[in-house]
Amino acid sequence: MPEPCRSCAQRTVDYGGCRCQAFHLTGVAAATDPACQFSPDPALIEEARVRARDPHEMVVLQRRLLKGAP
């Protein structure tokens, strides 16, 4: 994990936050979860919230299959 996660006192509790959320919002799975108060990308959470409330914003859901999953 990069800083600030590497030296965070909570790293053994939350393991750097949500990897899926970090990847979805930043494009980098190893990035600090933008929901974390120490993240350099907190604006991404607010941007996602604004876009989710916009009735003109198209939401595209994509199913992702895991290896070995039926």
Structure tokens at 45: 């959470």
Structure tokens at 4: 């600030």
pLDDT of residue 22 exceeding 70, the answer is yes
Q: How many domains does the chain contain in total? A: 1
In the prediction, which pLDDT does 19 show? 80
Domain coverage including residue 9? 1-70
Structure tokens at 37: 């108060």
Which band of pLDDT confidence, cut at 50, 70 and 90, is reported for residue 63?
low
Instruction: Please state the rounded mean pLDDT for residues 20-37.
Output: 86
Query: What is the SS3 assignment for the chain?
Result: CCCCCCCCCCHHHHCCCCHHHHHHHHCCCCCCCCCCCCCCCCHHHHHHHHHHHCCCCCCCCCCCCCCCCC
Taking Cα atoms as reference points, which of 31, 33, 51, 50 lies closest to residue 42? 33
